[in-house]
Structure 1
Amino acid sequence: MTTVDAPRRRFGKVLRIPGVYAPQADTNLLAEAMRRENVAGMDVLDLCSGSGVLAAHASRLGAHASAVDISRRAVLTIRLNALLARQRVAVHRGDLLAALPGRTFDLIVSNPPYVPAPPAVLPSRGPARAWDAGPDGRVLLDRICETAPRALRPGGTLLLVHSAVSGPEASVRRLREAGLRCGVSDRAYVPLGPVMRERLTWLRERGLLGPGDDKEELVIIRAEKR
C-alpha cells in the first residue's frame, strides 16, 4: 500500500476555475509514478489534464509537455497554472487523442473521469463532467485503452490512474490485447470522497463497494509498448 501525500506539497499553489477537477490523491499518485519514468527530454502528454498540474510537473522534470482536455474551463486553467509554475506546456482542447491526430509520445499520463454514475450518458457541462463516467465508470477508460496504444512510440509508456471500482482488470486486459506489456504498478487507499459517499448506497447495490468499505483503492496501470 502506498501513502499519498497531500497534492499541495508537490504542486505548490494551484489555480482552479469552478467546474475543473482539483488535484487530489490520484493526481499525486500519478505524479510520483511519472517521476520514476525519468521523463527528461521525453515528449509527454497529459490526457484529460484538468488543472494541468501534471503537465506542468512533467515540464518541471525536463519533458516537452503537452496537455489535452475537452473542457474550455480546463484549458484556461491549464494555461494559467503553467504560467504560475513558469513552465512551458502546449495546451490543446479536444476529445481525447482526437485533439492531436497523428501525434505520438514517449509517455502518456491520464487521470480521466472514472467514477461510476447511474446515467449512461456523460454530462456535457457542470462539475460532474470532471468525474462521472457511466454506470461502470469505464466510458472514457475504454476509449483510452483503445486509442492510446497507437499514440505511443516504440518503447513508450502509458500511465493510467483510476479507482479499483472501475475495473482495473478490464484496463489491463484491453491494453494487453492491444499488444502492450501491462500491469498494476501502484496501489493506494484513500478515504471515500464526497461523490463516492453520496453514491454509497447505489455503489453497494451494484457490488462495487462492500458493506464495510470506507476507503477507495486507487491504482496505476502501467502499459509499455514493445
Structure 2
Amino acid sequence: MLPQLSPATADALRTALRRARYSTDGVRALLGQGAHLALGRGEVEPAYRASRANAGADGGELGVLVRLLLLGSTEPDAAVTAALAPLAPADAAAAGLLTASGDGWRAALDLRPYGDDSDGESDDDRGAEWWVLSDLDARRQQRDHVTGVGAASLTLAAATVRRQVGSLLDLGTGCGVQALHAVRHAAAVTATDVAPRALAMARATFALNELDVELLDGPWLEPVAGRRFDQIVSNPPFVPGPARVDYVYRDSGQDGDAALAALLRTLPEHLEPGGVAQLLGSWLHVRGEDWPERVRSWLPPGVDAWIVQREVADPALHVGTWQRDAGLDLTSTAAREQAGAWLDWMERERVEAIGFGFLNLRRTDGAPTVVFEDLPGDVDDPLGPEVAGWLDRVDWLRAHARDEALLAAPLAVAPGVVLETYAEPGVEGWTEVGAAVARLDGPRWRHEVDGPAAALLAGCQGALALGELVELLAVAHDRPTDELVAAALPAVREFVRHGVLVPAGPQA
C-alpha cells in the first residue's frame, strides 16, 4: 500500500508528533547517549529499554512513538490512540502508516525525525527539523524498496552548496531528503523520480512537513525537458553492474557506468549560466584505461568540473557491499549466483576496481577548469562550504589567468593552515629533512614545500603583491627572478585552488 496523507491526516499526525516531541532532540533526550548511539549501530534492545525506563512506567507518549515507529514494536491500541491523538490509529492505517497486529498496532512504514545541524552558508539551513517517511528495513529485498535517511543521503547533503538560489532540481528524489534541505535555500524546488512508491513517499514527506515542492514523475531528465535550474542535486542509481534492475534505488538498468556517463553529458543543458550540479556517482576502473580520462570524456564543453574520488573498491568488495546493503544472506544459493554473474560481468568488461565519489559541475562561459582528485579517508567537516569555496577560487584564478594579473595580486595564507616540518635522527641528533603546508580544516589538503616555497608562503600576509614577494625572495636566495616566477606560479595556483592561499585586498 502506498502512503496517502490527506491534508487532514497530515495535520493531525503533525500535531501528535509535535506534542510528543518526536524530534531528533526529543528522541535523543529520551534514549540517552548510550542507547541512542546503539540505535545508530542497529542495536535495538538498548533503545527499547531506555524508551520505557526514561519515560515513566508506561513509557509516555514519546516512548510509545519511538517503539512503534523506530523500533518495530507492536504497541497496545490504547497507548497508540493516546500517542497519535488527534489522529485515530484506524485513520493512520488507512493512510498506509500503521498495520493492525492482534490487539495493537505496528508501523507499516518508517517515520523518523531528521534534523540538520550543519553550518551551511545560509543561516536558514541551521537547526532545520523534519520527519521522513520511507520503507521499513523488513522490505529491503523488494525491487521498489524506498530507502530512508542513509549514508549516501547524508553524504550528499553534507557536500551540497547551500547558497540562496532561485530554482533547484532534486533528480531522483527517493523519499525526498535532498529536497528537504533544498527548501531552506532555494525559492522553488522541483523533485523527480521514476518509481511510483518513491514519489508517494516523497509526497507524504512533503505534506507532513508542510512543504511546497513540485513533484514530477519520469526517468532521468525527461520530466524537466527544456527547463533549466540554478542548482541540481542528485543521488542517482549509481551502482555499476550488468544491465539489470534488481533494486530501483540503486540500479540504473544500463551496463556499467553508462547511465552516469549519459547523465554527465546532458546535465549541463539543464543548468542556467553559472548553475551548479552536484551528484554522487561510481565509475569503473578499466584495465588499460586511466579513470580520470574515462570520466573526462563524458563531460561536455563549457563546464567547470571538480571530481573527487572518495573510495576505491575491488570487484569482490563492491559486490559484497551492495549485497549486504540489500539484506541478502551472502551464503544463500541465490546470493552466490547473483554474485557470480556480477563478477563474471566484471571480468568480461576488464573491470579492476570501482571508484566512488562526488561530481561537481558548473556551467561556465569561460575557459573550463576540470580537476580530478583523490580524497580518501574520513572528512570531519561538511564539504558543501569547501565546494562553494573551490568554485569561488576557480573564478578568481580564471580572472587572474595571465601571469601578470596573478603577480599583481596580494595573497594571504588562509586561517587554519600550518607549516609542518619533519626530521630524522642521526648521530648528531635530529636533522630536518622536509616540510609541508597543511590545512587543519575541510579536506586537510597537504603540500610538500621546499625552503623558498615556505619563505614565499610566510610572506603572503595580504600586504604585498605576489610579484613583489617573488622579487624579494630572488634577492634573498640569489636566484633569477624569472626562474622563481616560473617555479612559483603553478604552485601558487594549486595553493589557491586548495584554499591554502586566499586572495587579499581589493581584488579578493
TM-score, reference length from structure 2: 0.36
Q: Which moved more, 1:98-107 or 1:21-30?
A: 21-30
Whole-Å separation in 1 of the counterparts to 2:302 and 2:272: 13
* Cα 1:9–1:131 shift into 2, 3 Å: same
Whole-Å separation in 1 of the counterparts to 2:159 and 2:187: 14
- Structure 1 residue 90: deviation in Å? 0.8
Pair 1:28 & 2:146 matched: no
* Contact 2:279-2:360 at 8 Å conserved across structures: yes
Normalized per residue, the structure richer in helix is 2
Q: Counterpart in 1 of 2:200?
A: 76
Pair 1:219 & 2:363 matched: no
Whole-Å separation in 1 of the counterparts to 2:282 and 2:310: 10
Query: What does residue range 47-62 of structure 1 map to in structure 2 within 5 Å?
Result: 47-62=171-186
* Cα 1:39–1:21 shift into 2, 3 Å: farther
The structure, 1 or 2, with the larger RCO (C-alpha pairs under 8 Å, 6+ apart) is 1
1:144-177 CA deviation, whole Å, 9 max, x = no partner? 11221111010011112023558874444312x3
Q: Which moved more, 1:96-105 or 1:194-203?
A: 194-203
- Structure 1 residue 30: deviation in Å? 1.1
- Structure 1 residue 201: deviation in Å? 5.4
Whole-Å separation in 1 of the counterparts to 2:212 and 2:311: 30
Q: Which moved more, 1:135-144 or 1:62-71?
A: 135-144
- Classify the secondary structure of the residue corresponding to 2:183: helix
Pair 1:89 & 2:213 matched: yes
Whole-Å separation in 2 of the counterparts to 1:114 and 1:151: 20
1:64-109 CA deviation, whole Å, 9 max, x = no partner? 2110111111111111111233322110001222112211001111
* Contact 1:141-1:171 at 8 Å conserved across structures: no
Pair 1:155 & 2:274 matched: yes
Query: What does residue range 49-198 of structure 1 map to in structure 2 within 5 Å?
Result: 49-118=173-242, 120=243, 122-123=244-245, 128-134=247-253, 136-165=255-284, 169=292, 170-175=294-299, 177-185=300-308, 187=310, 192-193=321-322, 194-195=324-325
Whichever of the two has the greater Rg, that structure is 2
Counting matched residue pairs gives 209
Pair 1:43 & 2:174 matched: no
* Cα 1:143–1:30 shift into 2, 3 Å: same
Pair 1:15 & 2:141 matched: no
The aligned amino acid for 1:115 is V
- Classify the secondary structure of the residue corresponding to 1:88: coil
The aligned amino acid for 1:152 is L
1:30-56 CA deviation, whole Å, 9 max, x = no partner? 11122xx23323311000111111012
Whole-Å separation in 2 of the counterparts to 1:195 and 1:29: 16
* Cα 1:166–1:115 shift into 2, 3 Å: farther
Whole-Å separation in 2 of the counterparts to 1:221 and 1:25: 17
* Contact 2:240-2:282 at 8 Å conserved across structures: no
- Classify the secondary structure of the residue corresponding to 1:15: strand
Q: Counterpart in 2 of 1:213?
A: none
RMSD: 3.3
Q: Counterpart in 1 of 2:19?
A: none
* Contact 2:274-2:363 at 8 Å conserved across structures: yes
Whole-Å separation in 1 of the counterparts to 2:114 and 2:256: 27
- Structure 1 residue 130: deviation in Å? 1.7
Whole-Å separation in 2 of the counterparts to 1:71 and 1:91: 12
Q: Counterpart in 1 of 2:80?
A: none
- Classify the secondary structure of the residue corresponding to 1:147: helix
* Contact 1:188-1:218 at 8 Å conserved across structures: yes
* Contact 1:39-1:58 at 8 Å conserved across structures: no
Segments of 5+ residues of structure 1 without an aligned counterpart are 211-215
- Classify the secondary structure of the residue corresponding to 2:164: coil
Whole-Å separation in 1 of the counterparts to 2:224 and 2:267: 11
Whole-Å separation in 2 of the counterparts to 1:147 and 1:84: 34
